[in-house]
Amino acid sequence: MIVKFTKMHSCGNDYIYVFGDIPYPEKLAAEASRRRFSIGSDGLVLLGKDEKGNKTMRIYNADGSRARICGNALKCSGCLFSREYGENDLVISTDAGERRVRVKGDEASVYFPLKGITKLSRGSVTAGIVEYEYDLIDVGNPHRVFFGNIPSGDFLLRYGKTFNASDETNADFVEVLSRDEIKLRFYERGSGETLSCGSGTVAAYYAALFRGVTDRKVRAVSAGGVQTIDNDGEAIILTSGVSVAFRGEYEYRI
């Protein structure tokens, strides 16, 4: 079958977006996400509406596993829904609940309700001979947030699965540059290292606020670009640009 898709990214966190249902989406996600061998992406996002007419987003990681929520995918999905239905302020249903998305041109903001975010615990991981402490934060999906010097590329590739508990959690590495700027690196469950992670940025920001090391409004810098993060007392608001990389058709052999 021929699948029509849009390839989009926000700060380099790229997904393949498809309107409607397709058979065996986990198979398509794993097949089409392979870089250099296929379309290439951090995963697959299926967009649609439920029986009540609510806008929906289903996320599949690059290995075909399911993800409950993704901040950058929400931004891109909001942009695609906005272009499809002409709405700039909308609500999208995810496996982690509903999230508000506001679209303004090529920029989008996602609202993560504070009442839906939980600091679960603190723990530690030993990678090599070094022990790394983390805050476990749930923002709709679980994140281990590590503060300090960000690991080098080779080290993270070697120990990524250790940091994210053999694919049970996402791992976010945070270096506090100042009270209004943080530097980030991510190793996501089901996708490996990504250039950006929206929900991971929210988790890192929440953990930094909890520790009292940043102010309310922060620039979050990662390999894929810059996101702005703030809160209005009710929700954490994540904002950045979104871009269409290309559109096309994919021959999906079931």
Amino acid (1-letter code) at residue 141: N
- Which listed residue (11, 70, 76, 79) is catalytic? 70
Instruction: Judge whether 70 counts as a catalytic residue.
Output: yes
CB neighbour burial string for 52-80, b if at least 16 within 10 angstroms, e if fewer: eeebbbbbbbbebbebbbbbbbbbbbbbb
**122, 133 Cβ separation under 8 angstroms:** yes
Q: Which two tokens stand for residue 26?
A: 């986990």
Residue-by-residue DSSP string for 138-191: ESSSEEEEEESSPPPHHHHHHHHHHHTTTTTSEEEEEEEEETTEEEEEEEETTT
Distance, CA of 179 to CA of 217 (rounded, Å): 9
Catalytic residue among 11, 76, 79, 197: 197
How far are the Cα atoms of 22, 77, 80, 168, 231 from residue 28, in angstroms, in the given order? 9, 18, 20, 22, 36
Asked if 76 is an active-site residue, the reply is no
Active site residues: 70, 197
